[in-house]
Structure 1
Amino acid sequence: MDEYRSGPPPAPPAARTGPRERGAGILLGRLAGVPVYLAPSWLLLAALITLTYGQFLSIRRDLPLSTGFAVGFGFVVCLLVSVLLHELGHAVTSRRSGIGVRGITLEMLGGYTEMDREAPRPGVELFVSLAGPVVSLVLGLLAAGAAAVLPSGGIAETFAFQLALSNIVVAVFNALPGLPLDGGRALQALVWKVSGDANLGRRVAGWAGRLMALATAGTVLVLYARGVLEGLFGLVFTLLVAVTMWVGAGQAIRHGRIAASLPPFSARELARPVVAVTAATPLSEAERIAAQSGQHQPVVAVVDGAGGLIGFVHGASARAVPPERRPWVPVGDVARRIDGQHVLAGDLRGTDLLQAIRDDPGGDYLVVSGEDVHGVLRGADLVSLVEPSRPTVRRKST
């Protein structure tokens, strides 16, 4: 199963405290500047398909078992390339639309492309969502053309036919109108266009995804009971896809509800003011200066000798210092240096703002617009705005 993800699994930042999702895999390299990862779960699927398809060819074609396994492994590699090209379709169209791409991950049930933010308009959402199925359909038609001209009954013709069938099935299945499938993204875009509400589109597409999951499970059970679908592997695999669709659809529904409840504030509006001191300033003195600044909940920033901002006092570290030690501990010892992962654009808001702080929801972030510093956004401040209306969520793992 394929999908593309515009950021985190649909959960507020409090639910994301682990490592980046796309980093949980083997880095294969970069394609068109996009990092490509291979999830360990894919290796299990590769082994199962190699064994199943290899035995099938050995029996039907009267081939040595080793030859059947070799052809089966070649089929797995072609499937991997097909999924990669499908995801690259999402990635390229996303970047052409001005949306950054964090990476592509290939996994047991297909793959996903991770965007760094939500689509800004429904037209962009529709364009990006349909790019993958179109690529799969083109690949399927090319493979079908190859099967038509290859000698009938040969291994090459069978191989091309199976590749054509798999790509066409992927294209059609992913075009079904329900999240987390690509067709669900397209449905979300259409509802967004008509209603003007992206979150309503997400919820509608999520409920449609649940219907698609039930229909998929029901169809495969009927086909298996009637003997149309042979083999336990196909039954289990398809049911696993249906379960994954149900979970993803449910998370999309919750995501839509959470996003609809988010405050309309930007990172700039949520940022706390900054009070600057040097690294050698005692913590107690820095707190006194901040208290007398007259600003609301200021954050103590650390500057170098030239007045350049190099970091800010980390709240948890400062609170851990006993009161009697504060006159002797310099702020430099409880400060966090500024890094690229903790700098936010001032105009970020809504789900894009949640996406930006997802890897460290309890951290402090410098908020800037160009070279202008607006202040420091504390992740805990944003989480506190979300959590009162936050339903229980689980991390998406499809």
Structure 2
Amino acid sequence: MTDTDTRGRSGRNPRKQARKEGIALGRIFGVPVILAYSWFIIAAFTVIAYGPVLQANNPLLGIGAYLVAFAYAVLLLISVLVHELAHALTARIFGWPSEKIVLNLWGGHTQFESFTASPGRSVLVAMAGPAANFVLAAAGWLLLTGADLRGVAGILANIFVWANLLIGLFNVLPGLPLDGGRLVESAVWKLTGSQEKGTVAAGWGGRIIVIALVLWFVALPLLSGGRPDVSLMLITALVGSFLWMGAGASIVQARLRGRLPLVEAGALAEPALGFPESATVAELLALVPDPSTGAVPAIVLYGPDGRPAGVVDGAAVATVPAGAAATTALTAVSYALGPGAYVPAWSKGQELLQYLAQLDGVEYAVVDRDGTVTGLLRQSVVLAALKGRRPGPGKRMFGQSR
């Protein structure tokens, strides 16, 4: 399964972030590999669930059956790693930068930095993962048939073949977040010219797969009067919840992407005027003596270098006595913007979102091509536009109070 993200460009410390996610295993072909702490949950489940089965089928193993079960978990980990490496290396052919591979409770995912996809390339990158598992299954089968493997070696080789075959087959199912979902996405994308419509269709494909799994492994045995296997029901519940959440997230992300063209700094910003930091409250009130007569623009302060540095707080201005207005600097009734928190009025879409992700704070000055302040953009307004909602009503004098 593949995952696209641009967090690698956000300025965060990658080593510190990796430690939070899990154990850094190093780099393979230049791609960082991280073993998430959640992997140990699935490893423990594998040992607990399959250890007794192996011991019952192979009494001579004794307690060693649990070690063999753990080796099975490690083989699964290796199979998933090869699967994800196939994604990463195929993507590299098209110039898509891989940020990292994360191996976790659900298997794993390859996280990319920003790139420009196409239906054909998306399919090739997605199908590279299952293809790698089919190759591993074939190699294991050749080893089983060509060598006289007995005991633990035979057990593990047999498990390796079936595990890779199942991983490959499962991942080609036609629904996101599985790799096969990219086939559905690309087909609809090619027909309609809209990647967003393709992603929504593939997301619903993922939800249909979940319903089919629950019907087959849980509902049908119950309706037929049988007793479903508890372990199988638990696995179905875990896999089903993962797929349902992933499919839902894909649908939400697609709808957000569809609204990206509406996210433009100049269009979403409220009107604003720029004032030098040296200005006083009296100078401001001379411009807008009676703010109660109607909406007034936000006031953005700029420093000696001409760059936006703060926003005047209307509530603080109202507390300044009339006699002190001429001697009270606007900096005394303002709050600071984050470093570099200003954007060009023409910035929009993914470019705008990536830029805002690198900035601190929740408000950003909007400037024209001459560097003149024309507006104040609030993070809440951007999020509302992405969700298809209208921003909340009410603007306070000279900007909102914090």
Q: How does 1:55-66 map to 2 (within 5 A)?
A: 55-66=52-63
State how far apart, in whole Å, the 1-side matches of 2:338 and 2:385 are.
24
Could you tell me whether the CA contact under 8 Å between 2:33 and 2:101 is conserved in 1? yes
* Structure 1 partner of 2:22: 26
TM superposition shift of 1:336: 2.3
Q: Do the aligned partners of residues 259 and 143 (structure 1) sit closer, same or farther apart at CA in structure 2, a change above 3 Å counting?
A: same
TM superposition shift of 1:56: 2.3
Query: What secondary structure is seen at the aligned counterpart in 1 of 2:261?
Result: coil
Query: What secondary structure is seen at the aligned counterpart in 2 of 1:105?
Result: strand
1:250 and 2:242 are equivalent in the alignment: no
TM superposition shift of 1:100: 3.3
Q: How does 1:337-352 map to 2 (within 5 A)?
A: 337-338=339-340, 349-350=348-349
* Structure 2 partner of 1:124: 121
TM superposition shift of 1:269: 7.5
TM superposition shift of 1:181: 0.9
Could you tell me whether the CA contact under 8 Å between 1:177 and 1:205 is conserved in 2? yes
The one-character-per-residue Cα deviations of 1:341-367 (angstroms, maximum 9, x if unpaired) are: x89899975457556656889635699
Q: How does 1:184-333 map to 2 (within 5 A)?
A: 184-221=181-218, 231-265=229-263, 281=278, 299-302=300-303, 307=305, 312-313=309-310, 319=313, 322-323=316-317, 327=329, 329=331
State how far apart, in whole Å, the 2-side matches of 1:96 and 1:274 are.
49
* Structure 1 partner of 2:159: 162
The one-character-per-residue Cα deviations of 1:296-329 (angstroms, maximum 9, x if unpaired) are: 86854556xxx496x743x5xx649833586274
Q: Which amino acid aligns with 2:144?
A: A
1:148 and 2:145 are equivalent in the alignment: yes
Could you tell me whether the CA contact under 8 Å between 2:316 and 2:334 is conserved in 1? no
Match of 1:137 among 134, 137, 142: 134
Q: Do the aligned partners of residues 359 and 286 (structure 1) sit closer, same or farther apart at CA in structure 2, a change above 3 Å counting?
A: farther
Q: Which amino acid aligns with 1:337?
A: P
Could you tell me whether the CA contact under 8 Å between 1:129 and 1:183 is conserved in 2? yes
* Structure 2 partner of 1:87: 84
Q: Which amino acid aligns with 2:34?
A: Y
Greater RCO (CA < 8 Å, at least 6 residues apart): 1
Q: Which amino acid aligns with 1:245?
A: L
Match of 1:114 among 97, 111, 120: 111
Q: How does 1:36-115 map to 2 (within 5 A)?
A: 36-115=33-112
TM superposition shift of 1:5: 1.9
Could you tell me whether the CA contact under 8 Å between 1:263 and 1:385 is conserved in 2? no
State how far apart, in whole Å, the 1-side matches of 2:72 and 2:41 are.
15
TM superposition shift of 1:189: 1.2
Could you tell me whether the CA contact under 8 Å between 2:313 and 2:334 is conserved in 1? no
Q: Which amino acid aligns with 2:119?
A: P
State how far apart, in whole Å, the 1-side matches of 2:60 and 2:379 are.
61
- Structure 1 window deviating more from structure 2 (23-32 vs 347-356): it is 347-356
Q: Which amino acid aligns with 2:137?
A: G
Q: TM-score w.r.t. structure 1 length?
A: 0.72
* Structure 2 partner of 1:380: 380
Q: Do the aligned partners of residues 135 and 118 (structure 1) sit closer, same or farther apart at CA in structure 2, a change above 3 Å counting?
A: same
Q: Do the aligned partners of residues 45 and 286 (structure 1) sit closer, same or farther apart at CA in structure 2, a change above 3 Å counting?
A: farther
State how far apart, in whole Å, the 1-side matches of 2:344 and 2:157 are.
49
State how far apart, in whole Å, the 2-side matches of 1:207 and 1:216 are.
14
List gaps (5 residues or longer) in structure 1. 9-19, 391-398
State how far apart, in whole Å, the 2-side matches of 1:178 and 1:59 are.
37
State how far apart, in whole Å, the 2-side matches of 1:344 and 1:328 are.
22
State how far apart, in whole Å, the 2-side matches of 1:190 and 1:73 are.
40
* Structure 2 partner of 1:15: none
Q: Do the aligned partners of residues 106 and 183 (structure 1) sit closer, same or farther apart at CA in structure 2, a change above 3 Å counting?
A: same
Q: Which amino acid aligns with 1:59?
A: A
Q: TM-score w.r.t. structure 2 length?
A: 0.71
The one-character-per-residue Cα deviations of 1:151-174 (angstroms, maximum 9, x if unpaired) are: 244221220111111111111111
Q: Which amino acid aligns with 1:380?
A: S
Match of 2:336 among 331, 334, 337: 334
TM superposition shift of 1:267: 6.0
State how far apart, in whole Å, the 1-side matches of 2:96 and 2:50 are.
39
Query: What secondary structure is seen at the aligned counterpart in 2 of 1:263?
Result: helix
Query: What secondary structure is seen at the aligned counterpart in 2 of 1:120?
Result: coil
Could you tell me whether the CA contact under 8 Å between 2:207 and 2:247 is conserved in 1? yes
State how far apart, in whole Å, the 2-side matches of 1:67 and 1:322 are.
72
State how far apart, in whole Å, the 1-side matches of 2:257 and 2:48 are.
45
Structure with max Cα Rg: 2
Could you tell me whether the CA contact under 8 Å between 1:177 and 1:186 is conserved in 2? yes
Q: Do the aligned partners of residues 356 and 34 (structure 1) sit closer, same or farther apart at CA in structure 2, a change above 3 Å counting?
A: farther
List gaps (5 residues or longer) in structure 2. 7-15, 289-296, 321-327, 391-402
Q: Do the aligned partners of residues 261 and 333 (structure 1) sit closer, same or farther apart at CA in structure 2, a change above 3 Å counting?
A: closer
TM superposition shift of 1:44: 1.4
Q: Do the aligned partners of residues 312 and 253 (structure 1) sit closer, same or farther apart at CA in structure 2, a change above 3 Å counting?
A: same
